[in-house]
A and B are shown apart, each in its own frame.
Chain A
Amino acid sequence: MANSSPAKTKPAAAPAQPTSMMSVIAPAVGWLIPGAGHIIQKRWIRGLLLLVSIGTLFVLGLMMQGHIYKANGGDILDMLGFIGDLGAGGMYIVTLAMNGGQGAIAFAIADYGTKFMIVAGLLNFIAVADAYHIAIGKKA
């Protein structure tokens, strides 16, 4: 009697996405300037909204006398803050170069400002991932 069990077949692998130049450039540009990764892919409105949203959060954080974390903070929470701040890309670099955000967190609003800047960086990481997904065709 012939074996009637179905033959084991491997699930078809998803077709590999070709690495295009845009899939490298869009996230890089998007990290440096929030929303730019969308703008260079002709998603104008999305890009501008991301630029305004992330940029305003970061600038408001600075104006609220928030603190910018540096790489050599020492404390583990400072390092996490640094990773968040780093997501803001060009804005973080410019702020460090201008010696901004160096004050102590002396009152509640300054603490909110610090969190605003960290969240702006983290939101930019999400925007960078979104720009990458658009570049590889995973998202319209």
Chain B
Amino acid sequence: MTIQLTHFSAAFVFALFASIVFGITHRETTRDMVRYGLYCFAMFLGGALLAGWAMWLVRK
């Protein structure tokens, strides 16, 4: 069984699961875990989007 993800959905899935693990393992309290997980998710996905737009500008 194979699956074909788009580039964005692959980045989304990666950011989601990596952020969950980072949140759980890098913070002590539940509240801090959630906050750090959301922060990591935003940074992962925001970074990918920014890099994508930067490459579009360079190509243009």
A-binding residues in B (CB < 8 A): 1-5, 7, 10, 13-14, 16-18, 20-22, 24-25, 28-29
Contacts and interface: CB of A to CB of B under 8 A. Distances in A.
Given A63-B1, A109-B4, A109-B10, A54 B17 contact: yes
Contacts of A108: 7
A42 to B, nearest CB: 15
Interface residues of A, number: 23
Contacts of A123: 17-18, 21
A56 B24 contact: no
Interface of A: 46, 49-50, 53-54, 56-57, 60, 63-65, 108-109, 112, 116, 119, 123, 126-127, 129-130, 139-140
Given A54-B21, A57-B17, 15 more contacts: A46-B24, A53-B20, A53-B21, A54-B17, A56-B13, A57-B13, A57-B18, A60-B3, A63-B2, A64-B4, A123-B17, A126-B22, A127-B25, A130-B24, A139-B28
